[in-house]
Amino acid sequence: MPNTRITRQKWKDHFSYAKKVYIIGILLALGAASLIYSVTRYQAPNERAVQIALVDSYTAPEKLDEIVPALLKAGQAFDDTLEEVQFLSIPYSGDGAADYEGAKVYTVQVYAGDNDIYIENKTMMEELIDQNYCVPLDTFEGFEEFTRRHPEVEVLYAVPGANQADGKESMEEDAPVEEPRPYALNVSTLKGFAERGALNMKDKYAAVVIMSKNQETSFEVLSAMFDALAPSEEAVS
């Protein structure tokens, strides 16, 4: 008659042989739960959200979660339909030749039009502006007030299309010269990025893109970001 009595040794032997199966099963269950949550959780529509894309080879947007409530509150003071402010990562160094996969992800994100604000290096920002993807900052009602509050922030001025050869060749000699307009804000003064290890802010600029469904609200959130990520008292002292 077979011995069916369960003993401690039998349990130990069972788990010794089957532990890999259990571990894989647990990991699969956790992965499925995470996928279900991601798919089913409520996401605000684009016109009620402000998505801030951090573009660099390494970013940690989750380390900025603590300032999101302040940005959301500032945005809602301007637009009470705003439901969400979110930082997200686009892992791209800016070197398309060396980082082909990153370049593809970045290009898809830009053309998809889901993001409202981009923070990226100067070369990439100038390319976005040149291709007319950025909103001139002087179209926003709060821009003059921002420059008064933050005179230390460098503003990037440019003329879209100025670096495109076809545009130069097609310009008539008597055509009026277009004056540079403000398009992006240098974020190098925002020590809060470095303090939290979220982004290397060296040579980084922020701009609101034309694909944004709520450009004015996005600028208000961007302005609030300069207050929320300013140097801490410890850093200043």
Q: Which residues pair with 106 in a beta bridge?
A: none
What pLDDT does residue 20 have?
61
Residues whose CB is less than 8 angstroms from the CB of residue 230 and which lie 6 or more positions away in sequence, other chains included: 189, 190, 191, 192
What pLDDT does residue 176 have?
67
Question: Consecutive sets of 10 residues in the chain, 237 residues long: mean pLDDT of each?
Answer: 57 57 61 48 79 96 96 96 96 89 93 94 96 97 95 96 60 68 96 93 95 96 94 46
What pLDDT does residue 150 have?
94
Which sign does the torsion angle of CA 228, 197, 72, 138 carry? positive
140, burial (CB in 10 Å: exposed 0-12, middle 13-18, buried 19+): buried
What pLDDT does residue 30 have?
59
What pLDDT does residue 39 have?
44
What pLDDT does residue 158 have?
96
Phi, psi angles (nearest 5°) of residue 122: -60, -40
* Inter-residue contact 232 to 156 (CB < 8 Å): no
The Cα 194–Cα 208 span in angstroms is 22
Which secondary structure element, helix H or strand E, spans residue 87, and what is its range?
strand 84-91
What pLDDT does residue 57 have?
93
The Cα 117–Cα 54 span in angstroms is 9
pTM over 0.75: yes
Task: Give Cα 95 distance to the centre of its chain.
Answer: 18
What pLDDT does residue 37 have?
44
Q: Which residue type is seen at 50? A: V
